[in-house]
Chain A
Amino acid sequence: MIIDRPQSHFIFILPRAHVYGNYNYINYKGKELTNNEYLKYWGKWVFLGTRQELDKLAKKIDPLVDQKIIPGAKYDRQEIPEFQIGECVMCVFCDVRQRDEIWDILASLGVEDKAWVFEKETMENWLPGGQLLEKWIEAKGITPEQAESVRKDAEERFKKMFEDKDAVFRGIDQ
């Protein structure tokens, strides 16, 4: 189902069973991933487009997500000016061990841009010194003290989230 909540920057496409039931879309062959497995295997196909293009694609992906063929996806409600990408970004999530199969589906839906990103890479970008966190801090024009506090929060959040490497990964609030 497409989850379009105006208060969120992202529009999500998640299985109905995940939203309303006990199903966790972050899994491989039906088995939920541990924190360790999440960092090792979970990632996304990333591609860019206008909001209209991505809305159109989301409608094609949605039934496949509800059937649990594609695990899940999200895309930007609008461009993020701080990052100067110039387009909206869609991420189609899956385990690296099924990425070829998911790619074939995306290609059949007309996706041409092919870029695989591990979630670990994204998280590192949002840690202190990471390119995205530092760019975000710079664009916000906050004081050095505030910037330090943002860095500290990011580090603590990551540490807390992954401290038990064998626990089932429960997702990130976005």
Chain B
Amino acid sequence: MARTGQHQEITIKLATILARHCQNNKTIVCKSDNISDIFSVIDALDKKFPGIKSVLCTKQHKIADSINIYVNGENVRYLQGLNTILTQGDLVNIIPAAAAG
């Protein structure tokens, strides 16, 4: 659930192949009162760039196998996945999972 009343600024960096779904923006700064975790940041992205959520997540609201998401360098699969809490100034990197090979 999104916390309210806390203004967050989160930087999202997308690999080139994923940036294509966001009008080729490789760096997107999300500023919102409603960003509390990865799920909410993806929701915010999808409002701005409809369709990106279906690239990053499955219909079951899980991170797609083909995608890795990092918060300040840590793979969120080893944290709380889409429920990983974000705090002011966090850096979110989203890359194809194959890049980790």
Which residues of chain A have a CB within 8 Å of any CB of chain B? 45-46, 48, 80, 83-87, 89, 99, 103, 112-117, 121-122, 125-126, 131-132, 135
**Cβ-defined contact, A117 with B100, below 8 A:** yes
**Cβ-defined contact, B91 with A114, below 8 A:** yes
**What are 24 residue pairs bridging A and B, where the CB atoms are less than 8 Å apart in the complex?**
A46-B100, A48-B15, A48-B95, A48-B99, A83-B96, A84-B96, A84-B98, A85-B15, A85-B99, A86-B15, A86-B96, A87-B16, A89-B99, A112-B13, A114-B70, A115-B93, A115-B99, A116-B73, A116-B74, A117-B75, A122-B100, A125-B100, A125-B101, A131-B65
**Cβ-defined contact, A87 with B15, below 8 A:** yes
Contact of B97 (CB < 8 Å), options: A80, A113, A116, A131: A131
Q: How far is the CA of A114 from the CA of B68 in the complex (A)?
A: 12
Give the shortest distance, in Å, between A5 (CB) and chain B (any CB).
Answer: 20
Closest to B18 in A: A86
Contact of B98 (CB < 8 Å), options: A45, A99, A113, A135: A135
**Cβ-defined contact, A115 with B73, below 8 A:** yes
Q: How far is the CA of A136 from the CA of B39 in the complex (A)?
A: 30
| B25 interface hit (Cβ, 8 Å) | no
CB neighbours (8 Å) of B28 from chain A are none
Given contacts A46-B100, A48-B99, 7 further A-B contacts (CB under 8 A): A85-B17, A113-B13, A113-B93, A115-B70, A115-B75, A117-B100, A122-B100
